[in-house]
Amino acid sequence: MPPIYRDIPTIELKIKLPDLAGLEAILQNIIIWNDCLAAAHPVSYFAACVLLLTQPILFTVPFIIIGAILRIPCVILKAFVRRLGFGRETGIEADSFAARYQSRYYGATIPPNSYFSRAQSYGALGDEWDADEQQQQGVSLPLYARVFQILTAVALIRFIFF
């Protein structure tokens, strides 16, 4: 007699996405909220719009903060790997754990795709998340910040003329 399998409990997920009319309603609600904010606080609204137009980099601050928080484990791992002796400029540092491990187990030839070679590659990586380096390399403003800057200009023009 074949075994009788129990039913596996399942959960039915329904995700409702707005159609075109729903997107129009969302946009209208955003415009109404924006108009109420401008009417209730005209000086602050105008000042905030001017600030965001002149300094669009402020749109990126939340993403920079979230990115920094998400990079904390990578920074800790990189510091640990470098502390073991996998250096950035010098490769395997002399008289380190990595040097002793290499001389004991590998000698002059390190197998490709081994954990040792991966740690060596990871330790040699630069700190590519340095904001000063990115600015020196001419990294421009992200597209979403430009879009928000344009939307701020539209909101400011709407505030002034309507």
Amino acid in the structure at residue 145: A
- pLDDT tens column, 5-39: 677 677 787 888 888 888 899 989 988 999 899 99
Residues 82, 123 contacting (CB under 8 angstroms): yes
Residue in the structure block whose two tokens are 């490769």: 91
| Residue 57 within any structural domain of the chain | yes
Number of domains in the chain: 1
Residues 71, 129 contacting (CB under 8 angstroms): yes
pLDDT, position 136: 52
pLDDT, position 134: 52
Q: Has residue 131 got a pLDDT over 90?
A: no
| Residue 151 within any structural domain of the chain | yes
| Residue 135 within any structural domain of the chain | no
Q: Give the domain range for residue 77.
A: 25-126+145-161
| Residue 6 within any structural domain of the chain | no
| Residue 41 within any structural domain of the chain | yes
| Residue 18 within any structural domain of the chain | no
| Residue 78 within any structural domain of the chain | yes
| Residue 60 within any structural domain of the chain | yes
